[in-house]
Structure 1
Amino acid sequence: MTTLLVLAKAPVAGRVKTRLTPPFRPEEAALLAEAALCDTLAAVLAAPVRRRVLVLDGVPGGWLPAGIEVIPQSGGGLDERLAAAFGLCTGPALLVGMDTPQLTPELLAPALAPDAWQGCDAWFGPALDGGFWALGLAAPDPALLLGVPMSVPETGAVQRARLLDAGLAVRDLPPLRDVDTARDATLVAAEAPDSRFAAALGRLAGAGAR
């Protein structure tokens, strides 16, 4: 079975979701980050996988549910940290981030099905901002990520091309919106109205935070 990796930062004010400030204060952005991470981990816990690993920058808190293995992130740029996360795995692995609280087990299902790796070497989940929200590798190879420019509009295109150039058969997951800005937060909350993220955003909006 597949290992499911979550690359995340601990939801500490001033260190996460800095593009949400303003309109939100750093403490409020951290609350939204914590809600997004909790939604992500809930989806991970409900998915049929061999291992559930949180690759964390920071210290676990009360938001961490039971059943999640925690491993510290490596140093370096994002490409190096992603590569190191895959280096933890000896079999098929699927990696997601903490920026898509609308994530559900159903969205992950194609890449975690019993036949997910038959005739398939990689799964790719594009993000609407040009990045990617999911990356799966049948045979994790850190070299497939090293050197890919991160957090730029062409990140996803370059990463997917890297997979194809390596001769891998790639299948795609549905595109999702990352929560980077306040507008993203509003749109994602509308897509997942029953999520912890939507509830947290609603509380902040009701308190006049925006």
Structure 2
Amino acid sequence: MVIAKEPRPGRVKTRLTPPYTPRQAAALAEAALRDTLAAVAAAPAARRVLALLGEPGPWLPAGYDVVPQRGNGLAERLAHAFDDALAACPAPAVLIGMDTPQVTPGLLSEAGRLLGEHDVVVGPAADGGFWLLGQRGPDPALRSGLLAGVPMSRSDTGALLLRRIREAGLRAALLPELTDVDTAADARAVAARAPSSRFAAALAALGADVPA
């Protein structure tokens, strides 16, 4: 599963503005989303779902089921994304956002493999959050219990989620840490890590147009 916003100027990646304009930030968001969707498409999966806030565009490849995001706040939207996906396909599920365009099919495959031996898989993010959450079972109580009340977009979000997992007595595995693209510095770091990505190309194309 990918949870994402339609890459519209002024609606996505607002922390990139400045130095980028809203249109430039949206172009970077679209490139990141394309990279993410391509990585998911290349990873083994029984079903691929895009939980979308907004409308699909030409950036959406074939092979995805699109469901609207539901809920108030990110924690609720994440829980509902699991609910909606697993209602149609009750199997181990992995959810990522559109903020880590350096993700690879190999990392996603590893998340799926780890769910064969663990209840939960978490991909920690450099800002203290998480870039991936995988759950082995379709139990709605498990999903709600993990995410309900966990504050999002904070430096301790990942730590609080891991504490919730430990307190529930669940077997957890960690993936490598990745960097979310939230700031211009993040964008440069991610592009350097994934130089052949669409995101890196989009950032390079904007370089000359960004004011010093």
TM-based fold match above 0.5: yes
Q: CA deviation at 1:42?
A: 0.3
Alignment RMSD? 1.1
1:86 and 1:201 map into 2 onto residues whose CA distance is 32
Q: Which residue of 2 aligns with 1:111?
A: 111
CA contact 2:42–2:105 (8 Å) conserved in 1: yes
Q: Which residue of 2 aligns with 1:58?
A: 54
Structure 2 unmatched runs, 5+ = none
Structure 1 unmatched runs, 5+ = none
How much identity, in percent, do the aligned residues show? 59
Q: Which residue of 1 aligns with 2:163?
A: 161
Q: CA deviation at 1:206?
A: 2.9
1:171 and 1:208 map into 2 onto residues whose CA distance is 40
Q: Which residue of 1 aligns with 2:199?
A: 197
1:85-133 deviations in whole A, cap 9, x for unaligned?
Answer: 11121221100000000010112221123xx333311101000000000
Q: CA deviation at 1:75?
A: 2.8
CA contact 2:75–2:151 (8 Å) conserved in 1: yes
Where does 1:27-176 land on structure 2 (aligned, <5 Å)?
Answer: 27-88=23-84, 89=86, 90-113=90-113, 116-140=114-138, 141-143=142-144, 144-176=146-178
TM-score by length of 1: 0.94
Provide closer, same or farther for how the CA distance between residues 209 and 63 of structure 1 changes in structure 2, counting only shifts above 3 A.
Answer: farther
What amino acid is the match of 1:147? G
1:209 and 1:107 map into 2 onto residues whose CA distance is 35
Runs of 4+ in 1 over 4 A off after TM superposition: none
- SS of the equivalent of 2:48 reads strand
2:38 and 2:94 map into 1 onto residues whose CA distance is 16
2:155 and 2:185 map into 1 onto residues whose CA distance is 18
TM-score by length of 2: 0.93
More helix by share: 2
2:45 and 2:207 map into 1 onto residues whose CA distance is 36
2:51 and 2:174 map into 1 onto residues whose CA distance is 23
Provide closer, same or farther for how the CA distance between residues 111 and 190 of structure 1 changes in structure 2, counting only shifts above 3 A.
Answer: same
- SS of the equivalent of 1:33 reads helix
